[in-house]
Amino acid sequence: MKIEITFKELKDSGYIDKSINEEIQANLIARIKAKQKVFEGLFGYEDTVVPQLKKAILAGHHINLLGLRGQAKTKIARSMVDLLDEYMPIVKGSEINDSPFQPISKYARDLIAEHGDKTPIDWVHRSNRFFEKLATPDVNVSDLIGDIDPIKAATLKLPYSDERVLHYGMIPRANRSIFVLNELPDLQARIQVSLFNILQEGDIQIRGFQLRMPLDIQFVFTANPEDYTNRGSIVTPLKDRIGSQIFTHYPKSIALAREITEQEAKISKVDKLAIQVPELAKDLLEEVAFVARDSEYVDAKSGVSARLTISAMENLMAAAKLRLIETDSDKTTIRLVDFMSIIPSITGKIELVYEGEQEGADEVAKALIDSAVINQFEKVFPNIPKLEKHGVKTPYTDLINWFDNNFIELNYTDTDNEFYSNLKTVSPLIDLIEEYASNLNKKDQVFCMEMVLWALTVDKKLDKSENDTAFKFDSAGISNLFQRNN
């Protein structure tokens, strides 16, 4: 916390007054020269979005981040706060962060005229120089720009023609700060029009007051592609006044997606120590989102947010934590059967097309998990033949034949030792793991054993049924009393 000083002390300190563009640019250049990371926590954008952001900042542009939901648009905007100076001097008591060197409000001009070098100077931390507003249809000009305040007029005994009766909206209060307007197309067209002069000329008009207020603001807008939402669009003259439009995107690899999930998922240190997550389970979780983005049942224009896998990871960990509580165990490992607990994370994060609605959200979610399992399975094991020729043995023949006279139930609530011991009773499954997954650690090998059984059921080589506590795998085509009785 910096102490209050006078205007003279500020000048004597050698402080140089800068516009917000100059301030951000100077700090950006300093970071680049020092080989420091400019934007923290933006995985997968190093060669695409980040270079465009740097250029937009160096150009002094207002920025529009255009992309589907869950592409870190708001995170990008918030990370720009780190490019501000730690503290900014203002005329003490100013509602709109007046610079003592270039005051723009009547209050600040009058105070400096009265006190001169003795004008008190206060400091604003950069964390208080970030303003964010979600554009909704009920947002009006008064919210953003301001209005006449009759209570001020009555209290100060001033006529409505006096500038001091004005109540400033969010944008004037964001002077010398970063102002983020999320979901810009949702803002009514007539409200978007009110931003024209602020972006271009810097003047504002409130109830007939024509004020020349050269507001110094770094605007960042976010929006979904206009072909996705029918709620509205960005009016052309406003787009024309936004210097740079930058397209965001989803992570392009499983590895990058995993980093995002690991960074954003809210999991306690205690849970991380008690619950182990196989590497294959982490990959499978991300694969679900990749499959969803290509699914014929999911509306591609709406996108599949990165929040799907973040929420899904939290649900996975919750399922394992519940097992710890119910079995009174100290440690457990995520299993493939635990992936049923991520269905609520999927159904709440995707928008279905007509065909998907006909199938039902739960069934689509299960189909996405099945497809993800197959994709991950085929990275470790040979493809499962669609048709089996009589007398021709495949890598899975012995395993499928084993189920002619046997079955296996995998219980959610079994301890890890019980769960693994149960899987080991399927001897052909052990042979498959030794042949194709011997290079993996034990946790991943156990996960692979489940994945083989699951993949064979997706390809109709085995049957899979489920009740509240377990999955049962048995020979394909056998009537499943297990499912009917539960």
CB 165 within 8 A of CB 116: no
**Residue 186 φ/ψ, nearest 5 degrees:** -75, -15
In angstroms, the CA 475 to CA 202 distance is 74
371 and 396 share one domain: no
Look-up of token digits 């023949």: 397
306 and 351 share one domain: yes
pLDDT at 228 over 50: no
pLDDT at 161: 66
pLDDT at 464 over 80: yes
Structure-token pair, residue 182: 């999320």
In angstroms, the CA 311 to CA 307 distance is 6
Question: How many domains does the chain divide into?
Answer: 3
- Residue 296 belongs to what H/E stretch? none
pLDDT at 229 over 60: no
Q: Which residue has the higher pLDDT, 218 or 232?
A: 218
CB 385 within 8 A of CB 393: no
348 and 228 share one domain: no
Structure-token pair, residue 478: 């056998």
| Whole-number average pLDDT of the chain | 89
400 and 471 share one domain: yes
Q: Which domain holds residue 483?
A: 383-486
243 and 259 share one domain: no
pLDDT at 376: 97
137 and 34 share one domain: yes
| Partners of residue 246 on adjacent β-strands | 65
Q: What confidence tens digit (pLDDT) does each residue in 42-55 have?
A: 898 999 999 999 99
Examine residue 148 and state whether it is found in any structural domain, yes or no.
no
In angstroms, the CA 245 to CA 220 distance is 10
Instruction: Look at residues 379, 399, 432 and tell me which one is the last residue of a structural domain.
Output: 379
283 and 206 share one domain: no
Examine residue 151 and state whether it is found in any structural domain, yes or no.
no
Instruction: Look at residues 379, 400, 415 and tell me which one is the last residue of a structural domain.
Output: 379
Examine residue 147 and state whether it is found in any structural domain, yes or no.
no
- Residues 432-469: b if buried by 16+ CB within 10 A, e if exposed: bbeeebeebeebbbbbbbbbbbbbbbbbebbbbbeeee
129 and 92 share one domain: yes
Look-up of token digits 């516009």: 19
Q: Which residue has the higher pLDDT, 217 or 140?
A: 217
In angstroms, the CA 6 to CA 69 distance is 47
φ/ψ region of 41 (left if φ > 0, alpha if ψ in -120 to 50, else beta) reads left
Q: What confidence tens digit (pLDDT) does each residue in 345-390 have?
A: 999 899 999 999 999 999 999 999 999 999 999 999 999 987 666 6
The pTM (predicted TM-score) of the whole model is: 0.84
Q: Three-class SS of residue 478?
A: coil
220 and 80 share one domain: yes
Of 482, 428, 486, give the one whose Cα is nearest residue 456: 428
pLDDT at 167: 79
Q: Three-class SS of residue 19?
A: coil
Q: What confidence tens digit (pLDDT) does each residue in 114-165 have?
A: 999 999 999 999 999 999 999 888 888 888 887 877 777 777 777 766 777 7
CB 89 within 8 A of CB 100: yes
